[in-house]
Amino acid sequence: MTDVDFDSEQYEKCREAGEILAQVRDEAAERVEVGVSHLEVAQWAEDKIRELGGKPAFPVNISIDEEAAHATPERDDDATFGEEMVNLDIGVHVDGWLADTAVTVDLSGQDELAKAPEEALDAALDVAGPGVDVGQIGAAVEEVIEGYGYNPVVNLTGHGLGHWEQHTSPNIPNREVAQGATLDVGDVVAIEPFATDGRGKVQEGADEEIFALEREGSVRNRQARQVLEQITDEYRTLPFAARWLDSPRAEMALRRLKQQDIVHGYPVLKEQDGAYVSQKEHTVIITEDGCEVTTRSR
């Protein structure tokens, strides 16, 4: 087994990102109430992250009811929370070292569906450690969620977190799989159970407000060039929101960059039956004797 220096700058910055994120997640969740603006909550959380010394690792995701991921408010979004199931998925980085977390705020009166991924995550954390096959984590998640009478979302997974990389190997399944990857000491991974009262698969919707750099490239259009410079300088390979861009013609510039395969979008993912989706997520560092949760409330 390779020695890992858990006091190194990398892990200290991962912990700092997690500490900032835990505070922002908890305070943002308290702001989710019927009648409150989606945009207000997202911008508050992103500003708070910066105030505390981090930067958003991706736009705050606010997923409603059947939405599972990649939903974030538009620039002039006027949507407000109703009696709905709300998932907040928030990320922080410190110099490119990441933490990722999510929580369900249930305004719909479905307490059991909201509790299922919480308990599933606890079960997953009990299993996670060095030498553990990720399929064992998936089995623990699946058992708990099915025990509540729901289904895990099987085509969404947890994931590794790299330097300036939001999704790296290994994938952490939400159901039992055979011969998955094995966790190693020093791995930083996000474990995120999703539960649904549908059949348990998501599909892409039409809306798209989150984007990321696909490759380096040159463009002739001035607005597109300005937007590309901002993306490259500020966000690198991490996801960003269209509303973060300074250009007054940002949407047109993004279309040009997408057409040239320089930028790709993240369509909103929705449960294919239109069923409710709940979520809970923590970031962990795999240690010699288990795992260290970096995003737990202090």
Numbered residues of the known binding site: 70, 89, 100, 159, 167, 192, 281
Taking the C-alpha atoms of residue 248 and residue 287, their distance in angstroms, rounded to an integer, is 47
Q: What is the CA radius of gyration of the chain?
A: 19
Can you read off the two tokens belonging to residue 222? 């001035």
The one catalytic residue among 46, 66, 271, 281 = 281
Supply angle C-alpha 239, 244, 247, rounded to 5.
Answer: 120
The one catalytic residue among 16, 19, 46, 100 = 100
The one catalytic residue among 38, 46, 93, 159 = 159
Q: Is 142 a catalytic residue?
A: no
Taking the C-alpha atoms of residue 225 and residue 107, their distance in angstroms, rounded to an integer, is 43
Residues contacting 248, CB < 8 A, separation 6+: none
In SS3 terms, 169-195 reads as: EEEECCCCCCCCCECCCCCEEEECCEE
Which sign, positive or negative, has the C-alpha torsion 104, 172, 182, 91?
Answer: negative
Known binding-site residue numbers for substrate:
70, 167
Known binding-site residue numbers for a divalent metal cation:
89, 100, 159, 192, 281
Q: Is 167 a catalytic residue?
A: yes
Cβ-in-10-Å burial (0-12, 13-18, 19+) of 261 comes to: exposed
Which of 4, 6, 64 lies closest to 32, judged by CA? 64
The one catalytic residue among 106, 187, 192, 209 = 192
The one catalytic residue among 118, 167, 184, 264 = 167
* Under 8 Å between Cβ of 262 and 228: yes
* Under 8 Å between Cβ of 241 and 235: no
Q: Is 192 a catalytic residue?
A: yes
Q: Is 261 a catalytic residue?
A: no
Residue whose structure tokens are 């300036």 = 164
Element (H, E) at 48: helix 38-51
Phi, psi (rounded to 5 degrees) for 154:
-85, -20
Phi, psi (rounded to 5 degrees) for 148:
-85, -5
Enumerate the active-site residues: 89, 100, 159, 167, 192, 281
